[in-house]
Amino acid sequence: MAADMRLPIARKPVILSVPSFDRKDLVVPGDVITLDTGFMRGHGTYVDEEKLTASVAGKVQRVDKLICVSPLKTRFNGEVGDVIVGRITEVQQKRWKVETNSRLDSVLLLSSVNLPGGELRRRSAEDELTMREYLQEGDLISAEVQSVFSDGALSLHTRSLKYGKLGQGVLVQLSPSLIKRQKTHFHNLPCGASIILGNNGFVWLYPTPAQQEEEAGGFYTSLEPVSLPDREVISRLRNCLLAMAAHKVLLYDTSVLYCYESSLQHQVGITLMLICSCTHLSWMFFFYCIQWIFYFSTGERHP
The answer, yes or no, to whether residue 70 has pLDDT greater than 90, is no
How far is 112 from 146, CA to CA, in rounded Å?
9
Of 175, 167, 157, nearest in space to 75 by CA: 175
Lowest pLDDT segment from 34-43, 108-117, 178-187, 190-199: 108-117
**What CA–CA distance (Å, rounded) separates 198 from 106?**
14
pLDDT band at 84 (very low <50, low <70, confident <90, very high): very high
Kindly list the domain boundaries of the chain, sorted by start residue: 23-71, 83-224, 229-298
Cβ neighbours for 136, distance < 8 A, ≥ 6 positions apart: 88, 91
Q: Does 35 have pLDDT greater than 50?
A: yes
More confident call, 268 vs 103: 103
* Average pLDDT value for the chain: 81
d(Cα 182, Cα 197) in Å, to the nearest integer?
A: 10
- What pLDDT is recorded for position 303? 32
DSSP code of residue 159: -
Q: What is the per-residue pLDDT for 3?
A: 72
Q: Cα 102 from chain centroid?
A: 13
Cβ pair 6, 40 in contact under 8 A:
no
**How many Å apart are CA 43 and CA 71, to the nearest integer?**
10
Task: Look at 181 and 267; give whichever has higher pLDDT.
Answer: 181
Stretch 50-67: mean pLDDT, rounded? Answer: 90
Q: From the CB of residue 253, how many other CB atoms can be counted at a distance below 10 Å?
A: 20
At position 104, the amino acid (one-letter code) is L
The whole-number average pLDDT for the span 168-188 is: 92
Region 62-80: what's the mean pLDDT?
89
Q: Which residue has the higher pLDDT, 151 or 161?
A: 151
pLDDT band at 225; cut points 50, 70, 90: confident
**Span 231-268, pLDDT tens digits:** 999 999 998 898 888 888 889 988 898 888 888 877 76
| pLDDT for res 91 | 93
Q: What one-character DSSP code corresponds to residue 150?
A: T
- Cα angle 152, 155, 157 (rounded to 5 degrees) comes to 155
Q: Can you give the pLDDT at residue 22?
A: 52
Say whether domain 83-224 belongs to CATH 3.40.50.920.
no
Q: What's the pLDDT score for residue 171?
A: 95
Check if CATH label 2.60.40.10 holds for domain 23-71. Answer: no
Percent of residues in the chain assigned helix, strand, coil, to nearest 5: 25, 30, 50
Torsions phi, psi of 4, nearest 5?
-80, 135
Q: What is the pLDDT, as a whole number, of residue 281?
A: 44
pLDDT band at 24 (very low <50, low <70, confident <90, very high): low
Q: pTM above the 0.85 mark?
A: no
Q: Check pLDDT > 60 for residue 21.
A: no
Paired residues of 209 in beta bridges: none
CA R_g for the chain: 22
What is the structure's pLDDT at 144? Answer: 95
How far CA 246 is from CA of 172, 185, 283, in Å, comes to: 13, 21, 13
**pLDDT band at residue 274, thresholds of 50, 70 and 90?**
low
Most confident of 68-82, 137-151, 216-230: 137-151
Q: Are 272 and 281 in contact (CB under 8 A)?
A: yes
Q: Report how far Cα 291 is from the mean position of its chain's Cα atoms.
A: 22
Confidence of residue 8 (pLDDT cuts 50, 70, 90): low
Q: Which residues pair with 86 in a beta bridge?
A: 141
Q: Which residue has the higher pLDDT, 222 or 15?
A: 222
297, burial (CB in 10 Å: exposed 0-12, middle 13-18, buried 19+)? middle
Which amino acid type is present at position 96? W
Q: What distance in Å separates the CA atoms of residue 140 and residue 108, rounded to the nearest whole number?
A: 13
